[in-house]
A and B are shown apart, each in its own frame.
Chain A
């Protein structure tokens, strides 16, 4: 669904990886948009294509990835034909990424203040004093009580939660209009997860940025995501508002995921609700609906042909024969 105020529009995007002489489709015919200041969540298991979809928005896919079809329009400009030089001005300044593992994303032999200042300099902040001030301001924004102390620390001197705050500061220092966060809390324990998600929500309110949040865990989206995409085997199988998708999921896969995470803490030794089986091998995709082998509601038609996208309610889409 697209609107006039859209910041990003993705239209019919398909991405393939070539591996061992084979072409593996990772994203198939994805169409969606993100409005200015909107928080869009992508929910899916590992291998569902959610990270590929998110990274393609920053044109940061590895060399063996190929854009098969489609267009990615950011503020009216198509990103796919852009040169690396043109992209350099967009990445970091207008589209920023918060990485899953800040320990891998930060340079271990460089003070964190310097690493944030580097981003500022790359995007045109020539004055050293201004850079120092902006680094301190952004470190304060992400919750460091003593920003100058934090700025002079090396990554290994910080805890996991503090390193993720630095990662967020680095992403936000140029005031981007879109922030992509791929599993921003999956390396943290549950108490820290809550803190970091609250921080992201606070910063969004402060700076009016749009977020694309990716996770396998429905709990990550609670409370602050506006709209949701559910991905399975490279396809968007459901789209709707957070209340729609979590309160009243339509696709059997979304229904399974919501049951999983919403299960109450029962008596000890009670079996948890599960989605049986595993996600399909993308090189051997089933002919019909990719979820058919695991679906509790499969029908004859599901194995034979692929469901089309239908719109059972306003502002809502699902790919399932139940709704055709």
Chain B
């Protein structure tokens, strides 16, 4: 065990997987200098420029060449710098990577990981702050992962790299510096499994990524009045319906909290699924808490308008458990 940041946990996972499999490689802008946040620091020195590839600012080519390289049997890790920039490569991800195996009748596979640093961080404004995970969950063929802790960033990135499907891997920028004890010899974590972060009796809160910390802070504010069960989804597609439904069966109440815009957000999918499966067992209507449908503004007081704060989560929890 050692104390690792969320960022270093991801770097260690990639380093271990690159040592394990010579066909794993990474490509993206500025990787030779460690990547924009330092997630690749030191890797080019160990693996060389053929496996830690410094690319032009050509997002479509970064994603599209990775698809071609994956189809011939390598395992590219695609760095998109900011999730917002992955929008320059939507055809390559959605029309090519996600569909190649299916369209070709199973002849090829596209085992790539797309790392998309996401979410609000240091007043980055409208084009560097988005949480677009729901879009990807809508696309058949893709796996969508959003780790919330250093332990999960280590175990899930390893799993994503070993996965034969294209995986959209959304690290939250506001978590880079968060530290925890990480077992560096741990096996990859299973994709599609949620983690119960906190056990409780009255209300299930489902969340993921950067919002987990806000929800934990809300639970601390509430001090067990009401008693909150927190589930970190970790993987958004496939999502752990079993764990969520088992928890809501017990508590009878569900609140989904996410940083993304609430309209059309992934919370809607969870709310609808739980309402369909457990309508008769619910003690209160299912509730969602997400951002209003406005772009992320720059000035801190404006950014605070779209960001879910622990106090809002606590208020929603109290309102649900009267």
A and B interact physically:
no
